[in-house]
Structure 1
Amino acid sequence: MTEQAKVPAIRFAGFTDPWEQRKFSEIVDVCSGRDYKHLDEGPIPVYGTGGYMTSVSEALSHNRDAIGIGRKGTIDKPYLLKAPFWTVDTLFYAIPKSDINLEFALCSFLNVDWKSKDESTGLPSLSKESINETVLSVPNVVEQNHLGNFFADLDRLITLHQRKYDKLVILKKSMLEKMFPKDGESVPEIRFAGFTDPWEQRKLEDIANRVTRKNEGESDLPLTISSQYGLVDQRTFFNNQVASKDMSGYYLLRKGEFAYNKSTSGDSPWGAVKRLVRYEKGCVSTLYICFGLDGADPDFLVTYYETDRWYKAVQMIAAEGARNHGLLNIAPNDFFDTALILPPSREEQELIGLFFARLDNLITLHQRKLELLQNIKKSLLDKMFV
């Protein structure tokens, strides 16, 4: 943006006029949402600050699209509302005036730091007045339409990649369920051709060896386990180093070895087991149970611990109520005594491991494409608006 001339840094060819300074009250009518609980079920979607909630029999806006913006709670995530719709009382809906392009109005809302206009000391909140009095710059309607159409196309592309990513995540979840035997069974629902032998129960100690080597100045990389990303640099993940600066008492983990974090979370009700793949070596807390593999395919075991098939075995050794601030009370010997179920054929293990490794790579590829498009949009919102 050129501040004095009131023009954006990037602009469609043919447009040279400066943008006009206006208030949001001049480009939209901000309307209040209402309670919907007195309404019958129906085809009209009800929206809150987090998106779609339910469907009812009546609409607040019958034929005029709008932008939803939080009145209370989440106030910095405006989004498009297609009529007919109903909004709850914590979500304003802003209807563009006749000379304002809907998508341009949405982009204008996205470009405002609404959190800076929070008027509460507790739950974030916005008032109609704070929205209406916010100043923005507006081009003529033809340029608005160009911008609106451009960002609508970009949003459709982002949505397309989001759907591809979501489908792959759902596919993985489904295949994890079907390619590993259910509790009490010895063969999976889906299997690679040529394998018919029942899967076998093995104790972890039969295929793994415990790692207890101490870090003696060999590494200064503090690692932590994320249920989503695996073993990651603690400094980057927490934006801070939680581990002690002196990590001489920590376990030294080498690439390819595993660690079990006994801390529970919503995603990991019985903790998480992950393999070190991002770094050659690193340090982990001695609260972790670490091991290397002797008698199983590592990619298979990575996938096995992404299923819930090992939960029951861990549940049996975790004493009822034996949790300390979300940390399971599990002794290493008991953990290595847990039973796993795996194919007797190393070849089948490798095929399963390879299948999920490739699926993970595909998911990561689509995730990166999605993040790239989202970053492009964020950058262009900054450069194509005043």
Structure 2
Amino acid sequence: MKTNAWEKRKFSELFERVNERNNGQFGRSRWISVAKMYFQTADRVTSNNLDTRTYVMRKGDIAFEGHPNADFEFGRFVLNDIGDGVVSELFPVYRPIAKMNLFYWKYAIQLDWVMAPIFSKSIKSSANSSNKLDDRHFLKYAVLVPSLDEQQQIGTFFQKLDSLIAANQRKLVIFLSL
């Protein structure tokens, strides 16, 4: 496999912050759970402000989920790979402005050893349990980015690995239920 040198790119060259509000085009059935990246069951959506207190999150967008946990000390980004919908305005949404492979970025933005040093310098203090990302700082930081072709190859590998893991988990559930 021929690889090109990875290029150092600022996040501001890759993503832009978007504040697209829901103007009624998305209802309760398109409410996205950012933490797990799935559409919430409509009867479980408790927001009464679907039009005014939500951001539109399009497929390919990333959102910052600022709840720290054992795996993500400062919170993490989650890439929307399920489709267009709405998220709470508590989650800042960033849209890609460069050509990129979604499957590569789905995994790359969750590498804590890459993102934690950036987050540690870009987090605003918060009175609640959720960290807030400071765009002015975050967008200035750079990461190494492979060529689009290499992103495709890496993304395809991880997509196949995910499918294999899911298939084996389904087999295990069937086996255990016998």
With normalisation by structure 1, the TM-score equals 0.42
Deviation of the 1:352 alpha carbon? 1.0
1:223 aligns with 2:32: yes
For the 8 Å contact 2:9–2:142, the answer to whether it is kept is yes
Deviation of the 1:275 alpha carbon? 1.9
Which of 121, 146, 150 in structure 2 is aligned with 1:316?
Answer: 121
Which of 352, 360, 365 in structure 1 is aligned with 2:154?
Answer: 352
For the 8 Å contact 1:270–1:311, the answer to whether it is kept is yes
For the 8 Å contact 1:258–1:290, the answer to whether it is kept is yes
Q: Secondary structure at the match of 1:325?
A: coil
Cα pair distance change 1:257/1:196, threshold 3 Å = closer
Larger Rg: 1
Partner residue in 2 for 1:383:
none
Which of 26, 38, 41 in structure 2 is aligned with 1:232?
Answer: 38
Deviation of the 1:240 alpha carbon? 3.4
Mapped partners of 1:329, 1:253: distance in 2: 18
1:42-97 Cα distance to aligned partner (Å, 9 max, x none): xxxxxxxxxxxxxxxxxxxxxxxxxxxxxxxxxxxxxxxxxxxxxxxxxxxxxxxx
State the one-letter code of the partner of 2:175: L
Cα pair distance change 1:324/1:373, threshold 3 Å = farther
Partner residue in 1 for 2:75:
271
Mapped partners of 1:217, 1:271: distance in 2: 30
The total of aligned residue pairs comes to 173
Give runs of aligned pairs for residues 365-376 of structure 1, distance below 5 A: 365-374=167-176, 376=177
For the 8 Å contact 1:261–1:272, the answer to whether it is kept is yes
Q: Secondary structure at the match of 1:270?
A: coil
Cα pair distance change 1:353/1:305, threshold 3 Å = same
Q: Secondary structure at the match of 1:327?
A: coil
Mapped partners of 1:283, 1:307: distance in 2: 25
Which of 62, 77, 94 in structure 2 is aligned with 1:258?
Answer: 62
State the one-letter code of the partner of 1:311: A
For the 8 Å contact 1:297–1:346, the answer to whether it is kept is yes
Q: Secondary structure at the match of 1:349?
A: helix
In structure 2, runs of 5+ residues without a counterpart are: none
Partner residue in 2 for 1:337:
140
For the 8 Å contact 1:289–1:332, the answer to whether it is kept is no
Runs of 4+ aligned residues of structure 1 deviating over 4 Å after TM superposition are none
CA RMSD of aligned residues (A): 2.2
Deviation of the 1:235 alpha carbon? 4.0
Partner residue in 2 for 1:204:
11
In structure 1, runs of 5+ residues without a counterpart are: 1-192, 378-386
Identity over the aligned pairs, expressed in percent? 23
